Amino acid sequence: MLSMNNVKKIFRTDLVETHALNDFNLQVDEGEFVAVTGPSGSGKTTFLNIAGLLETFESGTYMLDGKDVSKLNDNQRSVLRNQKIGFIFQSFNLIPDLSLFDNVDVPLRYRGFNAAERKQRIEQSLEMVGLANRMKHLPSQLSGGQQQRVAIARALAGEPRFLLADEPTGNLDTKMAHSVMELLQEINQKGTTIVMVTHDATLAAQAARNIYVRDGRVSELHDVSAMPEAVNS
Amino acid sequence: MFETGPILRALMRNKVGAILIALQIAVTMTIIVNSIFIIMERKELMARESGMDEANSFYIRSSGFAKDFNNQVTVQEDLAMIRGLPGVVDAIQVNAIPISGGGWSMGLQTKPGDDQDGVGVAVYMVDEHGTNTFDVDVIAGQDFNASDIIWRDGDRNDWPDQILITKAMAEDLYPDEDYRNAVGKTVYINRNEPIIIKGIIDKLQAPWIGWNGLERVMLVPQLMDFSAYRYLVRTEPGQRDIIMPKVEEMLASSNKGRIVRELRSMQETRDRSYRRHSAMINILTTVMVILTIVTALGIVGLASFSVNRRKKQIGTRRALGATQGAILRYFMLENFMISTVGVMVGAALTVGLNMWLMQAFELSRIDWYLIPVGMVVLWLVGQIAVLGPAKRAAAIPPAIATRNV
Amino acid sequence: MFQYYLKLALLSIKRNPILSGLMVTAIALGIGACMTTITVNYLMSADPIPQKSDKLFYVQLDSWDPNDPFDEPNEPPDQLTWTDATNLLKAKKATRQVMMAQSVGAVEPEQQDAKPYMASIRLTSKDFFGAFDTPFLYGGGWSDEADVNREFVTVISRETNDKLFGGQNSVGKTIRVLGNNFKVVGVLDNWVPVPRFYDLTTDQFAEPEEMFMPIMLKEELELPSSGNTNCWKRPDDGFKGFLNSECVNFQMWVELESEQQKQAYKDYIDNYVKEQKTLGRFARPLNNRLSDVNEWMENQEVVADDAQIMLWLSFMFLLVCLLNTIGLLLAKFTGKTGEISLRRAVGASRKDIFVQHLIETACIGLAGGIAGLGLAMLGLQGIKVLYGSFADRVSSLDFNLVIIALILALLSSIAAGLYPTWRACAIAPARALKDQ
């Protein structure tokens, strides 16, 4: 599903050159639920941006669903994001001026579906997250957990092969976090590949496989208990 | 492809900014379209031709004051001298100058009697060189010949027994007939005094540009035995500026008993007479340009602000698959929708202002096509103004979506 | 506290130089356009003789054609015939009566090298100078006897005095004009009423004439008529024929002290017309008018239509600029949500926030007003260039106008700032913090 080989990303300023990702290697198979963890500045956000085609990289190869994405231009990457990737953000990133219906509608419009299909998909995905009866509401009328559910509905409406979650429970209390995680598990079981970036070890533990990033490199750990203490800070 | 629905619903949640822009566009359109209309009207006024050879004509005023001043002799000598100058096509003594602002008018009527309606007409007293100096053609009947010309005494109000009139005057006197039929007919001046129409000239304007009978003119075959009058001189092309000072010098030195003044070209006369209109055109044009810039800057300002405010949202849209083109299109479309409301209101306001101007200042009704033209112009202004901010919005990197402030 | 707010305002203005600049420019353009047109309209319609504009009355008698009014709808002629004007002058029924007409005449200076020139002449009666409060540099007006006896006396303008006598006191000296020697009895000081209210029938913004002399000399010397002459009936031949005709070329002002006196004078002219009717004149229904200076200016449409159209358009222009400013202020204050909620959180009341932002708005308005004054001066220069000499006297800013400009700028910017300020005040103390 996702395959990164020797991916290198460098941030340059006039004075310093930072290797955000350095010979980054990662394979994620179809249907996996992978958690990527690591301390602040470890490069996990850079990984997320590159994996989500939000940023480009200097060298190495990145195959997404069998397609080499390093040669794609901005437009092609936009189209690919739209078709293959569903995003879930830490702060939900719902558009405050739009109703739940219109929020979920956003990626579907870029996909070019016709109105009837969009409507069906929006209703279906909002149904799935249990908010079908609040379609006309504005995000500000919902709790944080509900907002994140809308964001998940939005991510899934286009039936992407691959879900990219960035600290999905970071802005939620424990109870809400729990229900969001349950929802993600459920989605994974239906066959969607999920890569979740988090610094929360207990959250990461709920994923089938954990990747630990440090200094822009991967050190894979299957045993959660062996993770360094620093991660929890 | 076009997210009209969601844009509209999002706009409805942030009405104030949109309303402000729409109103600005509406009022701007109102001013611009009405200004363009006024400018067009004024340009039309200014485009009217006097019928003269304006580029090559000038005049000068002579006022005799000495007690022993002999008018008849002076006029004959002056005319012979001016006509003899190389480069002069022809010259006449005349009582008034077309489009200059001051002159004589009389009324002509087709039947005698105090209770008959008259048609106002401007009077130019000329000799047989009149048509050549004015550069007008006799298109029916006959021109004056030397024997037609009589002297008019300043203290007497007698009119000669024949005149030339313009085609426009003939048509106003005899609205139901071909102008050629006017030749040989008798009209009445001062209610009861008969005059025969000897000929029709093609076109010549009266002295008053604001008069509704601007093209109603009659030429009267009289030389003036007055102390003050003007000479109108027509020169060969390009000779005017050389001959003007010569004529002034010659007249001033030929007779010490008079004062010559007001040496003026027809071009200057036109500029003076139409100054008010050309000034209005200039002012309105300036207003339109500045106003358009102000409105465009306002749109740029508010759109930039709105882009800044929606940075995160734009990043999110990009992350969700919006291409740069889609973002650009979003802002252009949003502006187009706001502009549409603006130009709709603007169309109504434009008509309203025009109606009020018609009532208060006797302006005429606006040409309908100016309204759609104005709408298109304002749409374009909006689209051009929003292009910059929209491009900046499109350039917002998608990675901003994952940045947590 | 005010100083503190002022400091905050200036800081805030500095923080967004482009946005602030846009707002100041917008207000300046609006104020500049408005002030330019207000100035022209104000000076065109200004009361030229405020101390007695309600005591001077322009006389109109309807002596016109029985079949047609002089002007639609039923306007009496704007001038009088020689017969009527001299009759009213001789009757002396008002405190002062001023009969007048325009003429021209050749002046032959004494100096050898000076060429003769044509001077504009106002023929009038002795009350002209008293009725219109003309300032005198030397001497004064002429006497009643001079009017009656048709003496060759003249009052000259300061410019004429400078030209002919090098600015010396010329009272008692003579000028050769109209082929006769005229004795100078007075020299006017600078006197340029705007508009030239005493005669609105020709160029309303012209300067007063170069020479003034007794009106009865018109008959004596058979002086030519300037200005407008309108006739509805053919005059008889000769100069006498013209004077006795129904042609109008003469103006008449009377000075009346009170409402009763005005009523009495109105009765007098109505009776005069009735008397003339018995002589076979005045075939139209009674339609005589007494208009004071401002009424007469209105009747003669001293303020040009174009100037009024410009005035209204400029107000709309200002409206666009204000809408612009509202939008930009809204943008600016919304951008300050964080700061405002922080201030509210640390104890600022709504009123504090309101005052703070109102002061900021006022600063922008004031800056815009001052810049607008500069633009107005530029605009007035433009008017002068475009309209030429006539505009010289209706396009200068005076102190009142400067004050009007600043008040207009301040008021309009505060009006523009009210809604954005109100929105800023509505921000809850902690909301913005949480949202961040």
Helices (H), B129-274: 130-134, 167-173, 240-254, 266-273
Residue of B nearest to A81 (CA): B321
Would you say residue B248 has pLDDT above 50? yes
Is ipTM > 0.85 here?
yes
Distance CA C366, CA C2 (A): 16
Domain boundaries, chain B: 4-47+275-402, 54-273
| Cβ-Cβ contacts under 8 Å for C295 (sequence gap 6 or more) | none
How many domains in chain A? 1
Distance CA A66, CA B119 (A): 94
Chain B residues within 8 A of C316 when measuring between CB atoms: 27, 30-31, 353
Query: Looking at chain B from residue 172 to 191, which residues have their Cβ under 8 Å from any Cβ of chain C?
Result: 190-191
Cis peptide before C73 (omega within 30 of 0): yes
Q: Are strands B150-153 and B217-225 parallel, antiparallel or unpaired?
A: parallel
The DSSP letter of residue C71 is B
Nearest residue to A90 via CA among A177, A178, A208: A177
Rounded to the nearest angstrom, the minimum Cα separation between C70 and chain B is 14
**R_g (Cα) of chain A, nearest Å:** 18
Q: What is the pTM of this model?
A: 0.84
| Cβ-Cβ contacts under 8 Å for C118 (sequence gap 6 or more) | B63, B259, B261, C104, C105, C106, C107
- Letter for the amino acid at A208? A
CB contact under 8 A, A110 and B312: no
- Residue-wise pLDDT for B373-386, tens only, equals 999 999 999 999 99
Q: How far is CA C312 from the centre of its chain?
A: 18
Which residues span the domain enclosing A67?
Answer: 2-225
Which tokens sit at A139?
């995000």
CB contact under 8 A, B301 and C105: no
Residue of B nearest to A46 (CA): B399
Would you say residue B278 has pLDDT above 60? yes
Instruction: Tell me the DSSP string of C159-202.
Output: HHHHHHHTTS--TT-EEEETTEEEEEEEEE-S---SS-TT--SS
The answer, for B258 touching chain A at a CB cutoff of 8 Å, is: no
Q: How far is CA A99 from the centre of its chain?
A: 22
* pLDDT band per the 50, 70, 90 thresholds, residue B116: confident
Residue A95 lies in a domain: yes
Among the partner-chain residues B16, B20, B282, the one whose CB lies closest to the CB of C386 is: B282
Which tokens sit at C383?
């008017």
Rounded to the nearest angstrom, the minimum Cα separation between C267 and chain B is 32
Rounded to the nearest angstrom, the minimum Cα separation between B273 and chain A is 60
Alpha carbon distances (Å) from B140 to B205, C282, C355: 18, 43, 82
pLDDT confidence of residue A231: 40
Residue A71 lies in a domain: yes
User: Is there a contact between B77 and B91 (Cβ–Cβ < 8 Å)?
Assistant: no
3-class DSSP assignment, residue C397: coil
- Letter for the amino acid at B390? A
Helices (H), B362-399: 370-394
The answer, for B17 touching chain A at a CB cutoff of 8 Å, is: no
Instruction: Tell me the DSSP string of B39-51.
Output: HHHHHHHHH---S
Distance CA B127, CA B149 (A): 6
pLDDT by 10s per residue, chain A, length 233 = 889 999 988 888 777 777 788 889 999 999 999 999 988 888 888 899 999 999 989 889 999 988 899 889 999 999 999 999 999 998 899 999 899 999 999 999 999 899 999 999 999 999 988 899 999 999 999 998 899 999 999 998 988 989 999 989 888 888 888 888 999 999 999 999 999 998 888 888 888 898 898 888 887 665 544 444 444 33
- Residue-wise pLDDT for B174-228, tens only, equals 999 999 999 999 999 988 899 999 999 999 999 999 888 899 999 999 999 988 8
Distance CA B358, CA B352 (A): 10
Rounded to the nearest angstrom, the minimum Cα separation between A97 and chain B is 5
pLDDT confidence of residue B1: 56
| CA diameter of chain C | 99
Distance CA C303, CA A28 (A): 84
Residue A47 lies in a domain: yes
Chains with 3+ CB–CB pairs under 8 A to B are: A, C
CB contact under 8 A, A93 and B312: yes
Look at A39-43, B144-148, B240-244, C34-38 and tell me which has the smallest mean pLDDT.
A39-43
* pLDDT band per the 50, 70, 90 thresholds, residue B326: very high
Grouped pLDDT means (10 residues each) for chain C, 436 residues = 81 82 90 89 85 94 89 90 95 95 91 84 96 95 94 96 93 92 95 90 87 95 86 86 92 95 95 93 93 91 86 92 89 81 82 86 88 90 81 75 85 86 76 45
- Give the residue-averaged pLDDT of B397-401: 90
| Cβ-Cβ contacts under 8 Å for A166 (sequence gap 6 or more) | A45, A48, A87, A88, A89, A90, A196, A197, B402
pLDDT confidence of residue B296: 93
pLDDT confidence of residue C433: 46
Alpha carbon distances (Å) from A84 to A77, A161, B403, C142, C186: 10, 5, 21, 105, 101
Helices (H), C78-228: 82-91, 127-131, 144-148, 158-165, 217-221
Distance CA B169, CA B174 (A): 8
Rounded to the nearest angstrom, the minimum Cα separation between B16 and chain A is 14
Cis peptide before C195 (omega within 30 of 0): yes
The enclosing domain of A158 has a CATH number of: 3.40.50.300
Among the partner-chain residues B190, B286, B302, the one whose CB lies closest to the CB of C331 is: B302
User: Is there a contact between B77 and B223 (Cβ–Cβ < 8 Å)?
Assistant: no
Beta bridge partners, B162, equal B196
Query: Looking at chain C from residue 237 to 266, which residues have their Cβ under 8 Å from any Cβ of chain B?
Result: 237-239, 241
Highest mean pLDDT among A81-95, B287-301, B338-352 belongs to B338-352
CB contact under 8 A, A49 and B323: no
3-class DSSP assignment, residue B331: helix
User: Is there a contact between B158 and B202 (Cβ–Cβ < 8 Å)?
Assistant: no
Distance CA C244, CA C250 (A): 13
Alpha carbon distances (Å) from A94 to A167, B50, B313, B328, C43: 15, 71, 8, 20, 60
